Structure formats: C-alpha cells, structure tokens
Amino acid sequence: MKKVALTGAAGQLGRVLRKALLERGVDLRSAAGSQPLEPIVAGEDVMHGDLRDAAVVDRLLAGVDVLIHMAGTSVERPLPEIIENNLRALVEVYDGARRHGVKRVVFASSNHAIGMHPVESKLGVDCEFRPDGFYGLSKMWGEGLARLYWDKHGIESVCIRIGSCVEKPTEFRHLSTWLGFDDLLQLIDRSIHAPDLGFEVVWGVSANTRSYWDNSGAARLGYQPRQNAEDYAAAILAKSNPISAIGQRFQGGSFASFDFSRQDISPETR
C-alpha cells in the first residue's frame, strides 16, 4: 500500500480529502499549518508545522510515496504573502520530495493561472498562461517547478487546475467551472494510482455541459467525471449573477476583475 501525505488538511478541500481518504483505507499522513490537527480516527498520523522549514518537510515526507499538496494561500493576497506560502514553501516541498525519494506529487494548481482568457474560449491544457492575479501567477510558477523536478530529478507530478470545487454549484460561473466532491475524489484517486504519469496537467472540473475546458487528456489518468453542473442550471439561472460585468467577461471571474484598471475593455455582460 502506498503511503500518502496530505498538506493543507485543515483547509476547505483538505478537510474533504482527509475524511474521504481515511474512509477508503488510505495510509495517510495529514498535515496542517500552525494549529495541531485533532485525530478523527484512532491512531491517525497527523502533524503540523511551517512548510518553509526543511525539518517540518522532512517529518512530513519520511517514508511517503505520494504527496497531495493542497497547502498554500488560495485567494488573491499581497505579493509577499503569496511568495512565502506558494513559492518558498513549494520549493521546500519539492526539495524534500527529492531527499526522501517521493515518487509523485499531486499539486493543487488553479484555473486562475489562465483566468484572463475570455469566457468564449475553449481551452486545452496546452493553452497560454494568462494569470488573473498574483495567486494565479503563483500557480503558473508552481506548474513550472513541477515540470523542472520531473525533467531534472524524475519526480512525477500531476498538476490539477482546480475550478470551483464546492459541494454544489450556486452561481452562473459554476456552470462552467464546477468540480463536484465525488469527481474531486475520483481525480485524486486516479492521480495517486495511475501508473507512469511523468508530468501531467489536467483540468480539475466535472463533466459540465458549459465547461470552458477540454479535459480529454485526463483520460490518461482514467478520470471519467460523472457530475454535471447543468443539473443545477434552472435554479442558478433564476438568480442574478453576483460577479461584476468585467468579471463576467473572463474565465477567472471575480479574480479577473480585482484591481482591473484597463479603460479600453467595455464592461459588457454576456
């Protein structure tokens, strides 16, 4: 059985994954940041600490086969915070993976690495990076770091460009970007167990009728999403769109409209 480590176990998606992976009998070590985790099963392997500290990373990755890296700042924040949590910590994690012979990292990338593409575009994973802020920029950088450690050190990575991962879609943008929890768990499971991946980028998205993204390449993982945001469309379309007119023009939504100062783009809605 593979030994799996999970960072960000106290975060929104980390809590979902931690519980589900334990229920599935995964040999899991869960890590949080500054606050200790309360075990949810007897004898659970838990820890906490700052991932910028190599000693903490060594405790995390000793004996680990696969790391699911969900930790980091997940919203738009000032650049110094993004650098510390999403760049410096990620380098420490990959250096630790190299020291400990970790075979694969499942990296939580984000759709915000491409968020300035217009909503009319249908994108493959080979599309041009167009980050919608410092957070998206950090995920673009993280994918590059994952590529580097595969090319130079043979550490496999699956970079999952997560869309809107919530229990159910609640707004118009989610009709294109939703990743349901069942599909998230399937995608993580396939990212852990699929053989000989090398370096892969996939969209973290369900089988949404209105998806912005062509995820056909994820078939290599054996990922076959079953959830579709269109099942919730009638209720969503009956409500107003909470995103600003500028945000509605770009795939990154509200992230794209934050600190947007161009005057040559009309805020026309769809």
Tell me which residue of 113, 85, 137 sits closest to 203, measured CA to CA: 113
Per-residue pLDDT, 196: 94
Does residue 236 lie within any of the structural domains? yes
Q: Which amino acid would we find at residue 24?
A: R
Q: Name, in order, each residue with C-beta under 8 angstroms of 167's C-beta and a sequence gap of 6 or more.
A: 180, 181
Both tokens of 25, joined, read: 């009998």
Residues contacting 155, CB < 8 A, separation 6+: 94, 97, 98, 102, 103, 104, 105, 149
First to last CA, the chain: 50
162, with CB counted inside 10 A (0-12, 13-18, 19+), is buried
Q: Is 204 in contact with 187 (CB distance < 8 Å)?
A: yes
Predicted local distance difference test score (pLDDT) of residue 268: 57
Asked if 131 and 113 touch (Cβ cutoff 8 Å), the reply is yes
79 falls within a domain: yes
- Number of independent structural domains in the chain: 1
- Please check whether residue 262 lies inside any domain of the structure: no
Output b/e per residue, 199-213; b: 16+ Cβ within 10 A: bbbbbbbbbbebbbb
Question: What pLDDT is attached to residue 85?
Answer: 96
Domain annotation covers residue 97:
yes
> Residue 152 maps to which CATH number?
3.40.50.720
135 is catalytic: yes
Residue 111 to residue 129: CA distance in whole angstroms: 10
**Does a structural domain hold residue 269?**
no
Q: pLDDT (tens digit, 0 to 9) for every residue of the chain, 270 residues total?
A: 899 999 999 999 999 999 999 999 999 999 999 899 999 999 999 999 999 999 999 999 999 999 999 999 999 999 999 999 999 999 999 999 999 999 999 999 999 999 999 999 999 999 999 999 999 999 999 999 999 999 999 999 999 999 999 999 999 999 999 999 999 999 999 999 999 999 999 999 999 999 999 999 999 999 999 999 999 999 999 999 999 999 999 999 999 999 999 988 766 544
Confirm whether pTM is higher than 0.85.
yes
Q: In terms of residue numbers, what domain contains 70? A: 3-257
Residue 39, pLDDT score: 94
Burial of 120-149, coded b for 16+ CB within 10 Å and e otherwise, reads eeebebeeebbbbbbbbbbbbbbbebbeeb
Q: Is 82 helix (H, G, I), strand (E, B) or coil?
A: helix
**Given 135, 149, 212, 223, the catalytic residue:** 135
What is the per-residue pLDDT for 265? 79
Residue 246's nearest CA partner among 230, 268, 225 is: 268
Answer whether residue 268 is part of any domain. Answer: no
Q: Is residue 72 part of a domain?
A: yes
**Domain-embedded: residue 12:** yes
CB 118 within 8 A of CB 251: yes
